[in-house]
């Protein structure tokens, strides 16, 4: 299983977020999953890779060239794919992934998450999207997205495109329990 993980590079966040990222990396590695992430060495990104590598897991980092030039890459990730820009990075992160996990993060993480949701809505991505809701981080976003549906900018079916879990231990069971998205999702992509 190849799992794309979106997460932040900030070192200034509460340590619980980095600890959770480390545990997630270790959990995915122990399950035999390949972790595909943004290739960074700091914050949740670095902790995720550290956790997976400590368990002997396979880690693929996909990082834009400009980030290499300022040495933001994780020094322990042997499989580091250098791409030209952020657009290519997002495409490569998602391509071939069996699932997406979004950890707490800032604008970059949210942009990646929203692109995955949008592609799922348009029947271009069919796999699970799981938000790891550490400390209730994604509760406001979930409320916002429910309001988007209530205000008829999305259909009620669209609320099932992603799911939230509170604990690392719940991530893989949720991925396994989530059915493939509707092959005919484009039929109800437009608001009715």
> Mean pLDDT for each 10-residue chunk of the chain (192 residues)?
97 97 98 98 97 98 94 94 96 96 97 97 97 98 97 96 98 98 91 84
pLDDT of residue 2: 98
Domains of the chain: 2-178 (3.40.50.450)
Please state, in angstroms and rounded to a whole number, the distance separating the CA atoms of residues 46 and 40: 6
The confidence score (pLDDT) of residue 70 equals 87
């Amino acid at each position: 299983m190849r799992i794309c993980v979106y997460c932040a590079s900030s070192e200034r966040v509460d340590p619980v977020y980095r600890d959770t990222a480390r545990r997630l990396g270790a959990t995915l590695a122990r399950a035999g999953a390949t972790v595909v992430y943004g290739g960074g060495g700091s914050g949740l990104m670095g902790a995720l890779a550290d956790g997976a590598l400590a368990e002997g897991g396979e880690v693929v980092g996909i990082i834009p060239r400009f980030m290499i030039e300022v040495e933001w890459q994780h020094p322990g990730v042997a499989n580091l794919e250098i791409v030209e820009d952020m657009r290519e990075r997002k495409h490569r992160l998602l391509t071939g992934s069996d699932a997406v996990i979004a950890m707490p993060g800032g604008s970059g993480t949210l942009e990646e998450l929203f692109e995955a949701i949008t592609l799922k809505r348009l029947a271009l991505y069919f796999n699970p999207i799981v938000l790891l809701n550490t400390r209730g981080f994604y509760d406001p976003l979930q409320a916002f997205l429910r309001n988007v549906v209530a205000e008829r900018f999305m259909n009620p079916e669209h609320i099932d495109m992603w799911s939230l879990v509170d604990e690392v231990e719940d991530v893989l069971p949720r991925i396994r329990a989530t059915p493939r998205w509707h092959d005919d999702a484009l039929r109800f992509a437009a608001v009715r």
